[in-house]
Amino acid sequence: MGLRASTVHRPLQPLSRSPPTSHAESTAQPSRVARAQTSVLPSLHSNSRILVKKNSGCRLEDVIRVSRRGGYVRLNMNESPYPPPPLAVKMAKRYAGHMNLYEVEHLREELLEELSRYAGVSRRSIDLFAGSSEAISIMLSLARASGVDVVLPHPTFFVVYELARAHGVRLVPVQLSGEDFELRAEELARRAGGRLVYLANPNNPTGNLLVEDAALVARLAARAKYLFLDEAYYEFSGTTFCSDAVELGNVAVLRSLSKAFSLAGARVGYVVASPEMLRALNSFRIGFEVPVISQAAALGALRSRGYASRVVEEVSKTREWFREKLLELGIPTPESRTNFVLAKLPTSCVKVQRRLRRMGFLVMCFDGVPELRRFRQYMRITVVRRDQMEAFLEAFRRALGKEI
């Protein structure tokens, strides 16, 4: 079996200094994102609830004022700060009149063909899911039906802990190592035998890549009954194991259009796996989980890949700037290959979270998840627009006060 090294099968187009000329992007408007002069992303002021004048940026005082009327800057959901590509909106409108139907067959097939080209696999090895979260729920249904435990790195995506409790599935956590949260590959492989293994790659909430070696994926697949690789942040990491998943047979790759493609509200995800593995997953589904209008938006977004490339570029640049600012404040922050950073605070996250909320910013703490309570000093912060992050940084300093 010839295993490939983990690579990007269809890399996103690099950020261009010239406006796009393809039919899929011809409606993109000039950017108003602060300090992003090379971008052609449309303005996001209409997409946030911060009412500021055109081109005026985002000041902390504006955020505080609007928060008193119920508006917040959301740095807790890992959503894209940019609206969907114009073609995604256009396609959604085109199919809005078909919402009386559970499915439009030609639309679904077009979308799956587009996804298969994007992922670099055959049409038979890909299927739609209502976001990667639905795929995680189905994964746990498979674990329960198979009578196997789920082995996973710890900490990882909080939704897995919550859904595992709901499904009655036992988790076997393998603690990540050190301040950089490195994977203990030998321990994971040792515990994988005959079980289902879940790996978020990059990991959430730590933000780092856990696996970059196809040989480790093959080794885990050989020991485990099933291996699930969650690549929700693939566009930010540039590392994928889609082709390996199809070849290995008992491996599934979970993907999402929520992040780089700015479609969180459409709830569109997909799974890449062997046809046999997909049949096993689909046996737990009713069908028609992804609405027609969401499929249309997804097709438009996939035909606007240059737009997604620029979203990744802008967010990644802002993330690195923000991470450096946190390090200057003495806040430990691991390297991230996602659209968020994880900050270790000198005090309780919840205490700082409350102060930030009063200033108009929502962030993620983990006290509400029993399995993650020992990480009460950690705060996950979504990276949004540069001007919003500048305002957040000022609020963050105020919220920490004498703690730094």
pLDDT tier at 71 (50, 70, 90 boundaries)? confident
Q: Is the pLDDT of residue 37 over 60?
A: no
Average of per-residue pLDDT across 78-104:
97
DSSP structure string for 96-127: GGGTTSS--HHHHHHHHHHHHHHHTS-GGGEE
What is the longest distance spanned by two Cα atoms in the chain? 60
Q: Is the pLDDT of residue 30 over 50?
A: no
Distance CA 75, CA 81 (A): 9
Distance CA 247, CA 225 (A): 15
Paired strand residues for 200: 230
404 touches 331 (CB < 8 A): yes
The predicted-structure confidence for 151-191, as pLDDT tens digits, reads as follows 999 999 999 999 999 999 999 999 999 999 999 999 999 99
Provide the pLDDT for residue 68. 62
pLDDT above 70 coverage of the chain, percent = 83
Provide the pLDDT for residue 60. 73
Q: Is the pLDDT of residue 7 over 50?
A: no
Q: Is the pLDDT of residue 220 over 90?
A: yes
Provide the pLDDT for residue 287. 86
Residue-range domains of the chain with CATH: 45-84+306-403 (3.90.1150.10), 86-304 (3.40.640.10)
For residue 116, what are its two tokens?
């298969």
The predicted-structure confidence for 288-332, as pLDDT tens digits, reads as follows 999 999 999 999 999 999 999 999 999 999 999 999 999 999 999
